[in-house]
Amino acid sequence: MSGAIRIAVTAIALAALIGACGGNTQAPPATTTTTSPAPGSATTTQATTPPRTTTTVKTTPTTAQQGPAAGTTFAGEGMSAHDADALQDSVDQGHQPWRIDAASVAATFVLTRFGWNNPDVALADPHTAEVTNPADGRVVSLQLRQPAHEGAGGIWVVDSGVWIK
């Protein structure tokens, strides 16, 4: 391979490597002047680099940053019957008393699943909670159920949910 071709291939490979790494490195030279060597002489390369410029890019949140689209469903706690019975026994012994309050279960679910602090919980009916994140206004509707024993003293779990906005 001649010296001029070797330099060109090296420059292309270096540019591809810089682009693949996504690094904030200086751009490759804008112009390259190469002279072909005479047999037995050295190759001369001269490069000029364009001045650095700063570009400001304004971005809007992407769908991933905003959250799922309205109507998107998601799984709840996925608790088995055996796990629900064990949790009910634990609550009956005085552990995790918040589990017998549907609103507390909904608030804890969005805290652990989505990181929402101090959410607003409104019970639409005994088995549906509408939860709003005060930080960004996002809203989910949660379906709750009492898997071990229904009525007063029965634990609540989140069965599923859907994004409202």
State the Cα–Cα distance between residues 129 and 65, nearest whole angstrom: 24
State the Cα–Cα distance between residues 150 and 109, nearest whole angstrom: 20
Give the chain's mean pLDDT: 76
Task: State residue 118's pLDDT score.
Answer: 96
Q: Which residues pair with 143 in a beta bridge?
A: 128, 160
pTM: 0.61
End-to-end CA distance of the chain: 61
Question: For the chain, how many residues are written?
Answer: 165
State the Cα–Cα distance between residues 123 and 102, nearest whole angstrom: 8
114-162: pLDDT as tens digits: 999 999 999 999 999 999 999 999 999 999 999 999 999 999 999 999 9
The domain ranges of the chain are 3-48, 68-163
67-95: pLDDT as tens digits: 799 999 999 999 999 999 999 999 999 99
Of 58-72, 78-92, 95-109, the poorest mean pLDDT is in 58-72
